[in-house]
Chains A and B, each alone.
Chain A
Amino acid sequence: MNSDAHPLARIAPEPGVSKPDPILVLDSVLRAFGGLRAVDVNHLEIQRGTITSLIGPNGAGKTTLFNVLTGFDRPEAGKWELNGGPLVGIPSFRVARKGMVRTFQLTKSLARLTVLENVLVAAKDQVGETFFGALFGRWRHIEEANEERAMRELKRFGLEHMVDEYAGSLSGGQRKLLEMARALMVEPEVVMLDEPMAGVNPALTQSLLSHIMALRDDGKTVVFIEHDMDVVQEISDWVVVMSQGAVIAEGPPAHIASNPEVIDAYLGRDHGEVP
């Protein structure tokens, strides 16, 4: 990371700090399960065109926050905006169409669709996807253009030799790649990756990392949940740390690693002292 020229270089590393060009802005988002405040975020901004890692111990509310932001869960309160447009109460499929696409911690490949179909189904604005469009519409030329783009995405992720295989017959790692190729087919501005590196072998982790960095180089904003601090250090422009539902710290990766609050959250407040 080129820290001097970076737009986030001179941003103060404190929770809720405002950024020069935020694409995603959250305010007072609260999601509670009974008495448990699973997500309780005061203010958070995600800078456009960066890789932002969301880290935190198990149960910190990272995935719940993802679910809320992408319309898969409804919060008790709060508002959040994508590109200045409010997303509160917008159903998940519309959030995706507005340009924020997520993946899942447990890969969800469409097992009985082929690899190519998996990617094609994600294309937007296909008139043949409406009932009457399918029967009477002229959708084949759109389909051909989509196929070309799908093949490009599949090639990028090294899946072009498997286009006609059922997605269900792919290995775990290949499914991760397919899921990313599919998400890109939606032409998102923001890609939300929920633990893309979970359960993946080290070689593939490197490949996934370079893919994620390539997304940023394409001008996309990436938000991803990760546990492994080495991975986070390697590719993040900015790190947001959650604990018990709240954002307890944010800043550049180097700053986060030495933040005592973060170490407390991960290891407990009494670390280093023998009782």
Chain B
Amino acid sequence: MDLVKILIDAGRTAVGVPAAAYALSSIGLNLQFGYTGLLNFGHVASMLVGAYGMAITVDSGGPLWLGVIVGIVAALILGLILGVPTLRLRADYLAIVTIAAGEILRLTVRSSWAAPLTKGIFGIQQFADPFFDVNPIPVGLYGIGRFRFDERTMWVLLLGWGLVALATLFMWKLTRSPWGRAIRAIRDDEDAALSLGKNVFGYKLQSLMVGGAIGALAGMFLAIDQQNVNPDAYIPLLTFYAFTIVILGGPGTLFGPIIGSIIFWFLFEFLDGFMTAAVLEGWFGDVLDSTDIGPIRFALFGIGLMWLMIYRPQGLFGRREEMLIGEQ
């Protein structure tokens, strides 16, 4: 087994497109879940409306920049529609409604009824050409040895990590302001925040909408990289990747989602490479074959998360004292 090769491949994924996309997506979820305490189980829906908003706009003849604006506005509207009826209710209702909304949206864009716009199960392709046309990076490979990317990937990564940096700066400004303090107060105790004159509903709605807009940016970024939107990509699993990343990095921390995403994708790729090699070398005999790797990888992740919850519930970046504080 070539462990070095496996590690390098994992490292490439850890700084690659999926890591950047999920760091961005998790920054949005972190605003909702980590800072405001909103249990949004349908974060994938904002990625979907972002990606589809952009793809449909371009597909109907609009420019790409307009598509990006449409994607963001669509996510803001989605947050408004989901938030208004549910945010006055108990936290669990938001979870129920959002997980359902994600699936409803996926099945709707997939349906033949919506196909004139969304192209149904085939999805929309080749809408991001204007982005790749302006790639200033000369043709070539960048990096050392096996750890390198071509000019197209470099251009995409520049966009992705650039967006992550901007989103982090935005979050830094926002969460260190009195606004950020107010949403953390709401996370800790809604009634107390109300009794102090804070418009809890308004704050939650803002958090849901803004977090969704960041999620939409992540969705658009992934779609641009793949030059493809397809309904079957937007399954609830994506939301739970983001939750795993937020919890791994530490909910309510500035850099948690970034570090969480890098570690998540490193482990994800490493386990895949390692187990594939192990199966090929016959370590598991007849017990496991290559089709078992996917499920086992998830099982290991689950065990890892449980271990984290027990020994480091605050995530990698969180402060332990903060988590040891009981619910009173």
Are A110 and B192 within 8 A (Cβ)?
yes
Kindly state the interface size class of chain B when it binds its partner.
20 to 34
Binary CB contact string for chain B from 69 to 107 against chain A (1 if under 8 A, 0 otherwise)? 000000000000000000000000000000000000000
Binary CB contact string for chain A from 117 to 133 against chain B (1 if under 8 A, 0 otherwise)? 11011101010111101
Q: 8 Å CB contacts to B: which residues of A75-114?
A: 91-94, 96-97, 101-104, 106-113
Q: If the complex has contacts A134-B174, A135-B174, A166-B325, are A96 and B195 also in contact, measured as CB distance less than 8 A?
A: yes
Q: If the complex has contacts A72-B194, A96-B195, A102-B195, are A126 and B178 also in contact, measured as CB distance less than 8 A?
A: yes
Are B179 and A131 within 8 A (Cβ)?
yes
Are A143 and B191 within 8 A (Cβ)?
no
B254 close to chain A: CB less than 8 A: no
Are A134 and B199 within 8 A (Cβ)?
no
Binary CB contact string for chain A from 167 to 179 against chain B (1 if under 8 A, 0 otherwise)? 0110000000000
**Once the chains are docked, how many angstroms separate the CA of A92 from the CA of B189?**
14
Q: If the complex has contacts A93-B200, A101-B196, A108-B192, are A121 and B181 also in contact, measured as CB distance less than 8 A?
A: yes
A232 close to chain B: CB less than 8 A: no
Q: Which residue of A lies closest to B192 (CB)?
A: A108
A220 close to chain B: CB less than 8 A: no
Q: 8 Å CB contacts to B: which residues of A130-151?
A: 130-131, 133-135, 139, 143
**Once the chains are docked, how many angstroms separate the CA of A112 from the CA of B313?**
14
**Once the chains are docked, how many angstroms separate the CA of A135 from the CA of B173?**
6
Q: If the complex has contacts A110-B185, A129-B179, A168-B326, are A92 and B321 also in contact, measured as CB distance less than 8 A?
A: no
B206 → chain A closest CB, angstroms:
5
Not counting A101-B196, A110-B184, A122-B196, a sample of 16 additional A-B residue pairs whose C-beta atoms are within 8 angstroms of each other reads A93-B193, A93-B194, A96-B195, A107-B328, A108-B189, A111-B327, A117-B181, A117-B185, A121-B196, A130-B179, A133-B179, A134-B173, A134-B174, A134-B177, A135-B170, A168-B326
Mark B residues whose CB is within 8 Å of A. 170, 173-174, 177-182, 184-185, 187-189, 191-200, 206, 210, 252, 321-322, 325-328
